[in-house]
Amino acid sequence: MSDYAPRRVVSLQPSATVILRDMGKLDCLVACTKYCAEVCPEVRGKTAIVADSWTAQSQQISKLHPDLVIAAVPYQEKAVTEILKSGARFLGLAPKSLADIYGDIAAIAGIMNAREEGMHVIEKMRECRGSKGCVAGSADCSVVRSGRPGAAGKGHSRSKMGEHSRRQKRPRLLRPRRIP
């Protein structure tokens, strides 16, 4: 690992946690949200649970001494201020297209000194997206919305998630399936 690659990461976004997992970088994750733990159960009991992108708290983040905090849209000015007050480097993602998502994966991979692993994740997503049986929202390429806590959690059907995202005009992120 590079001397400059983050060793202590806080993820406030489930899709970022899944990307870290699929790149084999969960050992760097020191905290994530309860929504991250829902989509990536491997983190349960191994990382601290913190507030999400909407309700970020600087004290919660700073006491973990992270090298990097990753969050995604939608932001609230107060939450961004709290993240910045923590003193950690902040990577804010705001994808609007699948190409943006691939770029975000490549950015996370570059920052984590895991470029090859990041390209592997992107290629697996492309394969999944191109396969006949893979549809956004299926078990293999499920949709994880970026944004409001709980929107992709229990009690929300995929059709309701889609309805909610159209109503709120927020981008949806494809969550890469577990990479073997």
The stretch 65-77 carries a mean pLDDT of: 86
Nearest one of 92, 61, 62, 65 to 76, comparing CA atoms: 92
Which pLDDT score is estimated for 103?
A: 96
Residues 6 or more apart whose CB falls under 8 angstroms from that of 169 comprise none
pTM of the model: 0.73
Instruction: List, for residues 47-63, the tens digit of each pLDDT value.
Output: 999 999 888 999 999 99
| Domain assignment of residue 3, yes or no | no
| Domain assignment of residue 124, yes or no | yes
Domain that holds residue 25: 9-174
Higher-confidence residue of 140 and 86: namely 86
* Structural domains of the chain, count: 1
- How confident is residue 76, by pLDDT bands cut at 50, 70 and 90? confident
Q: What is the DSSP letter of 41?
A: G
Can you tell me the distance from the alpha carbon of 40 to that of 37, in angstroms, rounded to the nearest whole number?
A: 5
Pairing of strands 48-49, 9-11: unpaired
Q: Is 158 helix (H, G, I), strand (E, B) or coil?
A: helix
* pLDDT exceeds 70 at position 148: no
| Domain assignment of residue 4, yes or no | no
The stretch 17-44 carries a mean pLDDT of: 96
Which pLDDT score is estimated for 128?
A: 85
| Domain assignment of residue 49, yes or no | yes
Q: What is the CATH number of the domain that holds 88?
A: 3.40.50.1980
Angle, CA of 165, 75 and 112, to the nearest 5°: 100
Pairing of strands 48-49, 68-72: unpaired
Instruction: List, for residues 86-112, the tens digit of each pLDDT value.
Output: 999 999 999 999 999 999 999 999 999
Nearest one of 22, 43, 1 to 118, comparing CA atoms: 22
Which pLDDT score is estimated for 146?
A: 35
- How confident is residue 22, by pLDDT bands cut at 50, 70 and 90? very high
Which pLDDT score is estimated for 149?
A: 37
| Domain assignment of residue 78, yes or no | yes
| Domain assignment of residue 170, yes or no | yes
Please provide residue 9's backbone torsions phi and psi, each rounded to the nearest 5 degrees: -115, 140
Lowest mean pLDDT among 86-95, 125-134, 161-170: 161-170
| Domain assignment of residue 152, yes or no | yes
Out of 14-23, 121-130, 142-151, 165-174, give the one with best mean pLDDT: 14-23
Q: Would you state the structure tokens that stand for residue 162, as one six-digit string?
A: 């889609």
| Domain assignment of residue 180, yes or no | no
